[in-house]
Amino acid sequence: METNGDAGQQRPDNGKKPDESFVDITQWLETETSALPTGHVVRSESFLMIDAMMAIEIMTPKMDAGLVTDEDLRTPALDRAWVEATADRLAASEHGDRDITATMVALLLAETSFLYGLPLADTLFTCAYVQHVDALDVLATDHPAIAALRASIRGTIKLAGGVVTLMRQAGVYEDEDFSTEAHHFDLLPDVREIDIVADLVAAEKRVKGTDLAPLVALHRHALVAFSRVSVRDMEAASDAIGLWRRALDTVRDQVVPNVELGGEDWWAWGFNPRANRKLVVGCPPRNIKLMGVEPALDFWSKLTTHFSILASLPPVIRAVDILPLTTYLSSTPSIGFTAIPRALLQYVLLAHDLRMLGTVPFSQWVKQLCAESADPPYLTPMACGLVASVAVTDARARAMLAKQVDERVAPVLRTVFQTLDRNILDLLRSGLHNPARQRRMIAKIFKYLDQTQAAAEEWDVQLQEVMRETGDPFYLTTFTYALKLRAMVHYIDVGSSLAIYAPRELPALYYHIDHLLSALGSTLDRQARCATYAHLRVAHALDAVQLRPSSALRKRAGKTKPAPQFAAVATDLLADPEWRWIDARRAMAAGMFLILAVTGEPLNEDLGGEGDTPRTAGKGYGWRLQYVQRFRALHAAGTPEPRTADVYLADVNQARASPAATLAAASAHLAMAHAHLAALASSAERAAQALHLGGLLGDWAREHAVQVVQGLLDTCIASQTAVEQLGAYLPRPATPETKKSPQPQLKAPARHNHGKKGGKKGPAGKKRGPSAGGRGKGKPAAKQQEREEGDEEGLGEDAAEPQIVWPAVRVEFGPESSVFGRLVVEQPEVVEEQVVENAETRA
């Protein structure tokens, strides 16, 4: 029975006066309102449009929680009395076990729907048994089936309570992802998990051999796995997960086929979908439909896979591994991270080592990230440099330097951590949200990192003073910049997973990816220099010590060796799998841009305008405006220097001016990508390192990495085939009879000239990329000179350029595709006929 409990609102005094004080004005109202003109309203001055939007529309099922339907009127109240009576009847009935089994299957579906993210009020607690589980206490003593039902319900509630608590603590949920509203439902907070597990064990024994046993086992092992992972008892968790899987298989193969739930109406099993509609006045009821059997079982299967992966994580998971782990879990279709509450992952990570989002200051975690990163170490070379400096000075100088470090370096580092804290935390949290929200968060992150870069440069200058260095390496700036570039690439990638890019936008998309990954590759080069510099500095300092006469210093220095990883870190970095992965994708993007640019539709300048320029009336949404709006977030970030629409247009036109050269350049890019990807795919370990999964235990990481790399390699090969097919459309070289004059030298697009120091000026005369440049190993020289292109045959003395009629070229995305789909050329047969014709003509 609901009563008015909202103290914030003033009740009208309708309930206090006797009925006689109200008069019927129905007819009068009808008469008065019918005299109003259409479209006009009579409203109070205080009534605004926003109020109209907020009003709940009565008699609309989706908004009116209190709507009394025919169902509500004809079905019995599913209350405590009903539970007691029904349980009593089932216990006495020869078919009682069958009905209880059906009820438990229905309960499983409700639980699955909740874990999927739907509210408790619309899933689990629409079941009368769940609301009044204590009503089964007495009967459970004497009736095994009722005991099984009771124990399973309590196990379900306990698990649900754990998930709700976790979600609230982690704070990564959004209403659209997962509802944590518990409406004061009793989630058994004071009942120990161990007692509930004991109940489940006992109940399972009592119903052994029946269809109820696997269902009870499923709940039991799920609860145990959840709790064991949370306390880092991975061995017990792994055991529980194995048993959980076995129970799930039994339920799927043996129990479910024998159960008939009877359509969508589950009143018989105690479910009233509108049971809690009055609890959700603030948020209109959605009349949620519970999951079906097959999707629910599939979901549970994925859940066991998730837990199995989480259980295989090393005891101390490295911070650098967390983001790719979340990306892996969210992107792999067979796992389908989006199918489980994100906080389950958070729960594990929280419980794992409390390093991430627990009570430990996050700055400590950031420091750990820097120190333990598999990438070029950022702070450790700095620390080594300091050590080396200390080793070569006398005690007083050493003390002074230590004082400087404490006074100047430490505060700088603290500032760094505090500033980057938020970014890294947000970056990690973004991986745990739905893609749309993830994308918005990432955009904010890289814009903020762009602002942070200026501060990072100041910090580096200060550190240089303390460490008495000159010139590079600019550790922190490089770190910040690399982080930003990764976020920007991820931003585009997530947009692809949201399928927001239209086919005509793909050339621009690849254009930007090429640009960003080029910059990232250069940044890795710079990081290599950082590490090399640190190594050399330490080595030099140690050599200097050897020259000093003091035996004490020599003795001390003899024990001090540069950290082993620095010895080969420079060369290792250039062979670093991650570098290869970056360059492979860059090359893919470059190649695909060129192909799509040369075969695409002209960019009609008459349509649209840039930025706030008004569009030509009636002309619609032109490419320029689309380009600006689509990539606004990237351009707002500042660095690397954004590629404006003008630059894009110039490069597209340049590609089209020399189709043959463009195709050749595209082919070269794809060949480069092929080489990198083949090298990575040949070694599971390298593939895993490329995707930052190398530090994770378990074959799943390596298998997944190989799968991803191989998938991109297959895409690359298919695209290479497409380029070859397109080559047939190019005009044939001129024959001696038709050749009139030496052909002009055609320049290929000169965009992708990576590895040149000081940046490269593009077609628009703008400097591209960061100022650091880089050594670029093996990057293709895209500037190709002196293409021989024969003029088209038989065109006459004006030597007009023949129009190449390209076939339709599209990008085909598969289920495993990321932002790179495979190029597909349509209608190749037409080309062959043309070729035959031309050959005949020539003959």
Footprint on this chain of another protein (rule: CB under 8 A): 1-6, 9-15, 17, 20-47, 49, 51-52, 54-59, 66-69, 278, 281
Q: How far is the CB of 285 from another protein (least distance, A)?
A: 13
Which CB sits closer to another protein, 10 or 841?
A: 10
Quote the tokens at residue 422.
């938020």
Q: How far is the CB of 79 from another protein (least distance, A)?
A: 13
CA-wise closest residue to 435 among 496, 359, 517: 496
Return the bridge partners of 271, or none: 127
Q: Which residues of 493-529 are buried (b: 16+ CB within 10 A; e: fewer)?
A: bbbbbeeebeeebbbbbbbbbbbbbbbbbbbbbbbbb
* Contact by Cβ (8 Å): 776, 758: no
Which CB sits closer to another protein, 71 or 801?
A: 71
Which CB sits closer to another protein, 36 or 402?
A: 36
Which CB sits closer to another protein, 12 or 602?
A: 12
Q: How far is the CB of 324 from another protein (least distance, A)?
A: 47
Q: How far is the CB of 598 from another protein (least distance, A)?
A: 54
Which CB sits closer to another protein, 16 or 396?
A: 16
* Contact by Cβ (8 Å): 322, 428: yes
Which CB sits closer to another protein, 47 or 621?
A: 47
Separation in Å, CA 737 to CA 231, 727, 741, 796, 804: 84, 23, 11, 11, 22
Q: How far is the CB of 185 from another protein (least distance, A)?
A: 19
Q: How far is the CB of 286 from another protein (least distance, A)?
A: 17
**Relative orientation angle of helices 645-657 and 577-599, to the nearest 10 degrees:** 70
Which CB sits closer to another protein, 200 or 279?
A: 279
Distance between CA 231 and CA 352 in Å, rounded?
7
Which CB sits closer to another protein, 49 or 805?
A: 49
The number of beta carbons lying within 10 Å of the beta carbon of residue 240 is: 24
The 3-state DSSP class for residue 766 equals coil
Q: Which residues of 360-386 are buried (b: 16+ CB within 10 A; e: fewer)?
A: eebbebbbbbbeebebbbbbbbbbbbb
The 3-state DSSP class for residue 818 equals coil
* Contact by Cβ (8 Å): 718, 670: no
Q: How far is the CB of 649 from another protein (least distance, A)?
A: 44
Distance between CA 691 and CA 91 in Å, rounded?
56
- DSSP H/E element including 824: strand 822-825
The number of beta carbons lying within 10 Å of the beta carbon of residue 679 is: 17
Which CB sits closer to another protein, 19 or 612?
A: 19
Q: End-to-end alpha-carbon separation of the chain, Å?
A: 95
Q: How far is the CB of 278 from another protein (least distance, A)?
A: 6
CA-wise closest residue to 730 among 783, 670, 791: 791
Distance between CA 121 and CA 130 in Å, rounded?
11
Distance between CA 112 and CA 290 in Å, rounded?
8
Q: How far is the CB of 61 from another protein (least distance, A)?
A: 11
Which CB sits closer to another protein, 35 or 617?
A: 35
Q: How far is the CB of 637 from another protein (least distance, A)?
A: 40
Q: How far is the CB of 135 from another protein (least distance, A)?
A: 23
CA-wise closest residue to 347 among 315, 298, 307: 307
Distance between CA 824 and CA 721 in Å, rounded?
9
**Residues 6 or more apart in contact with residue 458 via CB below 8 angstroms:** none
Whether the upstream peptide bond of residue 640 has omega within 30° of 0, thus cis, is yes
Which CB sits closer to another protein, 64 or 457?
A: 64
The amino acid that residue 345 corresponds to is: L
Q: How far is the CB of 76 from another protein (least distance, A)?
A: 14
Which CB sits closer to another protein, 37 or 263?
A: 37
Q: How far is the CB of 77 from another protein (least distance, A)?
A: 10
Distance between CA 540 and CA 559 in Å, rounded?
15
Which CB sits closer to another protein, 3 or 841?
A: 3
The number of beta carbons lying within 10 Å of the beta carbon of residue 577 is: 23
**Residues 6 or more apart in contact with residue 130 via CB below 8 angstroms:** 107, 110, 124, 153, 156, 157
Q: How far is the CB of 313 from another protein (least distance, A)?
A: 48
